Structure 1
């Protein structure tokens, strides 16, 4: 059975008395707009045949692009790490990049309770999605009240990251990353997760069947370059794998969005016995501040771009880098590494797609907007979360004073650096999950900022972060995690970003883990109305941002297309599909239908 768009699938089963969103007016998803649409004008025109088939490329193919690299790339393949076996059978001990050397990295990683695979060990051939799975769920009584359409080039899609869905961590030549060491105790690890490494064709099929247009995924550095550093061999198995992932996405009628680094920094950069976590910011000593990091990342970026940029229209260099680079050197390295990769892509490779970064920031709103110190605290919060990266990259502007005066080791960028870094992003990616209420540290911002003591957990922001407003109300409807439903603050956030950094915006992640969802029976997990409310309210505010505020929002990517590994946790279910952890079977949730239907009924027709 071929997969069908959800609105066709719904008609096909209408005889079963399922509720569908298609009526005589064709606009029942937007009843408040009835009568506001212009009537069509019918007229005859001359006919002529036109060529419909086109091939869109965004950069030269690898055969030409590889000539831009200073040295030719050597390729190799490795096996899989099997505890107690591979390190014994490998005899190529004299080869610095051989099987024995590769296996030794996994020995040093010292994994706990590692199993090499879950259910699968080979790529699964996709199966068509039965029409019965694509029946629209019953509609909620109240819905959005907008009458706007998305621009015809709006980037709408869903997202996932390799570490959270792929599994197969020590198979086919992948080497260890930070995430295999970060999670301790009895929490679930990333060894299996969703087994997307073997199930990617089926996952793409399920997304395409729902009408998804863009699929945002990540490529692990340690799969492409197991030995990480410039001059080390490229993993041919990884190149072949992601070539096929991209081909699968394109063949399904979608477009790929590729992120180069999503938390899974190579373990060789990490002082694994000295990883510290700040409760409000992220992890220190996670590798980004390593002195070889910039050259290594730039080399990795060039390898990806020369191999895949001809077919990928949107690139992200770093995902939420502040969480793993919150000291000055780490952020400074990210800024320089990103700008070098950007220049290679546009100046040398002549890439015609778009490249940017995606940042984490729970929009900081002052607890008392009438209190100047609270407003100052919110502004400082935004400076240190976003301005630290965005001022030099988007504006060619110096690092914020709040950073330079607070962080140990901070230095000013010189004029040559600022000129090179300026405008090295085509869009501003923001993972705008929620908002947080901000007020100054009790001792005051200045007193806190002058005391970089490890015992002062408010340093370096030196602001309090809360989830209740000045009247004691939650800032919005709460979830299983830090996310609250805060759509009106999203609109305010987009307005602030656009007018401050003057670049197009992609809402590169947004999602909602329903409170207690993982404890519910399957039918109750599937009927996830709070998540639908989150997505539809956020997308409504995106439309208002575009039409009423003049903000150039060019896309939105929902997190995530399926429940996944949330860094040691499966109870925070952000997905729009339930995943059975025993069988790996996926089930569509109501929110997936609601989000896609919202966008499809608001797309401008050609």
Structure 2
């Protein structure tokens, strides 16, 4: 028998970086399915007695305890207001198709201008959900909190998580809130993508979390979740985006109440400022000319390259930080920026605006919490770790997905060499900028669902790396590597999900090793999850008994503990994606949630993976 063990080898293309790899080593037999029977004689048959009551005692989830005190990370807004951008505050209503048509706009930020943006966006087959006001959370029936029988084969290790380990769940505004045209919110890229991209279902109602947030937080608290990571919708705070445009009072009040309710229930809030839902107003101003909206027709364009992006995003971030800095321990400026950057100027816009908000939080507000951004995985791992060309290819891949942002922000170094050689229109970074960017992240936040096995392009096809890098029309550009889902020994890398990912917990651990040893910053695992294959086709009872998802979470969490105790990694927290099935960027078929959602009634139902996930953690916290 053999097993995979993690090792470290130098990555030759990134200064100070190392590449986590795996190798095959002899197994001592401990992982075999049968290790022998040491009994000298056969067991003696006997009659111990029988009763149907000889079953395991019923156990329920352990709710999170109220906070003994509410920690603070900055002064309250009343003391910070003079440090925030000066903006007026106003309110808007709800938009409904078929209302009065706006033909002229005299006030650039008035109600007519607000309506004109929705009129121009004109979402197809627009509908509303069943709620129009915040719902008071009902008590959670005890019957809903009864744990399923334990998995027969489960983790047996007894390692503990470090004291203060942040254990939680994640979600994002554009995927769960719904209410897209309510209480002053203007259209976003996600709203337009839902109505313009072929094959996309709409996110108009989603999970109606905008009105059901208290219900959802109550359910998280009942399950024992300690941290809730969510995103704020920029379009709810600054509907018109422009510097000096009005602040939407209803949106600000909504998130203020959400944060306060988290704390009331003993849950710590973690805030992302931009999670794929850039306001359309960034692109079209007041959107009075519908024809101009063709610039933005998918969610993969975050607008970071726009000339007005840095100043408008920084204004938004400063206002939100100033209002909530006292109660939020972690700020995440961007979610996986690579997937929303369309060119090199967008990369620069992301790095610059992130750094400005980092300095504002720490240097101006004197915030004591953490600021970072969420790097998007997967991390590339060489298919053959003994082959230098495979290692080089993995390094090249990681340059583009990780190093292009992380090198300036964590190391104060220029973009990776391979990036500059491939993306010719990159925005040069001078020495003073590199000094300004260096160290502007307190944690390395990573969204990592699986890993990619990497090898070079096949020379026999005539496609060499250099030729690919020089040709933007090449289908492999800019990574110019070959991906594999099959390991060197011929096995698929893990259990296949309903999306792109595989259950590959040991490769996840290797990827964590790569990040830790390359950027030498404490890690936080901000997203990981598993959409069970064809779960959407099953009935509710079958969806709830999601054993593959449980196996994914338990195995990954076990590998995280091994990384902490055996590899020396400073891992500060883990956040499961997601706490309920959501709108997964165009579809409701990818079920990542640990709760099922009835799309007609919005009733939530716990899945077994939720119980297994929280029980694993609570059984391994320091007493």
TM-score (norm 2): 0.86
Question: Which residue in the other structure is 2:23 paired with?
Answer: none
**1:148 alignment counterpart:** 159
For residue 294 of structure 2, give the secondary structure of its aligned residue in structure 1: coil
The corresponding residue for 1:61 is 76
**5 Å matches for 1:498-537?**
498-537=516-555
What is the match of residue 263 of structure 1? 276
| DSSP 3-state at the match of 1:138 | coil
2:131 is aligned with 1:99:
no
Q: How does 1:124-203 map to 2 (within 5 A)?
A: 124-183=135-194, 184-203=197-216
Alpha-carbon distance, 1:249 to partner:
0.5
Report the Cα offset of residue 95 of structure 1: 1.4
Tell me how far apart the structure 2 counterparts of residues 167 and 225 of structure 1 sit (CA, whole Å): 18
8 Å contact kept, 2:407–2:415: yes
Kindly indicate whether residue 591 of structure 2 is the aligned counterpart of residue 578 of structure 1: no
Helix, strand or coil: the match of 1:405? Answer: helix
Tell me whether 1:76 sits opposite 2:87 in the alignment: no
CA deviation string 1:551-572 (max 9, x = no partner): 0000000000000000111111
Distance 2:297 2:217 in 1: 37
Unaligned regions of 5+ residues in structure 1, if any? Answer: 1-13, 23-51
Q: Distance in 1 between matches of 2:54 and 2:234?
A: 49
- Give 1:426 shift: 0.6
Q: Cα offset for 1:275? A: 5.2
Query: Does 1:85 pair with 2:99?
Result: yes
Structure 1 match to 2:584: 566
Aligned with residue 449 of structure 1, among 466, 469, 477: 469
Which residue of 2 is the match for residue 3 of structure 1?
none
Q: CA deviation at 1:269?
A: 3.3
Counterpart for residue 464 of structure 1: 482
Name the structure 1 match of 2:217: 204
Give the Å deviation of 1:92: 9.4
Distance in 1 of aligned mates of 2:180 and 2:276 = 14
The residue aligned with 1:246 is 259
State the match for 2:347 in structure 1: 331
CA contact (8 A) 2:170 2:579 kept: yes
In the TM superposition, 1:324-473 aligns within 5 A as 324-442=340-458, 443-453=463-473, 456-473=474-491
Superposed displacement of residue 20, structure 1? 4.8
Residues 189 and 297 in structure 2, CA contact (< 8 A), matched pair in contact too: no
Identify the residue that residue 486 of structure 1 maps to in structure 2. 504
CA contact (8 A) 1:468 1:475 kept: yes
Q: Deviations over 1:324-354 (max 9, x none)?
A: 0152111111000000000000000000111
Local SS of the residue matching 1:273: helix
**Relative to structure 1, is the Cα distance of residues 430 and 53 closer, same or farther in structure 2, using a 3 angstrom cutoff?**
closer
Greater relative contact order: 1 or 2 (C-alpha under 8 angstroms, separation 6 or more)? 2
Secondary structure (helix, strand or coil) at the match of 1:300 reads helix
> Any runs of at least 4 consecutive aligned residues in structure 1 with deviations exceeding 6 A, and if so which?
none
Is this contact kept in 2: 1:475–1:486, CA < 8 A?
yes
Determine if contact 1:19/1:136 at 8 Å carries over to the other structure. Answer: no
Q: CA 1:86–1:130 in structure 2 vs 1: closer, same or farther (change >3 Å)?
A: farther
2:294 maps to which residue? 273
Relative to 1, partners in 2 of residues 1:73 and 1:92: Cα closer, same or farther, differing over 3 Å?
A: farther
Q: Does the 8 A contact of 1:498 with 1:505 survive in 2?
A: yes
Within the candidate set 107, 112, 116, 2:124 is matched to 112
Deviation of 1:203 (Å): 0.3
Q: Indicate the residue corresponding to 1:599 in structure 2.
A: 617
User: Secondary structure of the residue that 1:550 maps to in structure 2?
Assistant: coil
Q: What stretches of structure 2 of length at least 5 have no aligned partner?
A: 1-51, 61-66, 284-291
Alpha-carbon offset, residue 491 of structure 1: 1.0
In 2, the alpha carbon distance for the partners of 1:20 and 1:375 equals: 51
Write the deviation string for residues 230-275 of structure 1: whole angstroms up to 9, x where unpaired: 1000000011111110011011110000000000011133474245
Deviation at 1:93, TM superposition (A): 3.7
User: How many angstroms apart in 2 are the aligned matches of 1:238 and 1:16?
Assistant: 54
Provide the aligned length of Structure 1 versus Structure 2.
552
Give me the TM-score of the superposition, normalised by structure 1: 0.88
User: Equivalent residue for 1:28?
Assistant: none
2:572 matched residue in structure 1: 554
Alpha-carbon distance between aligned partners in 2 of 1:397 and 1:449, rounded to the nearest angstrom? 22
Write the distance in 1 (CA, Å) between the matches of 2:358 and 2:492: 41
The question of whether the paired residues in 1 share the 8 Å contact of 2:114 and 2:186 is answered with yes
Shift of 1:411: 3.6
Displacement of 1:398 in angstroms is 1.0
What is the correspondence of 1:6-17 to structure 2 with a 5 Å cutoff?
A: none
For the residues of structure 1 that align with 2:220 and 2:383, how far apart are their CA atoms? 40
Q: Residue 55 of structure 1: CA displacement?
A: 3.9
Deviations along 1:274-323, whole A, 9 cap, x unmatched? 4588xxxx93x541111110111111100101111111111100000000
Distance 1:542 1:215 in 2: 20
Secondary structure of the 1:56 match is coil
Q: Note if contact 1:322-1:385 (Cα within 8 Å) is conserved in structure 2.
A: yes
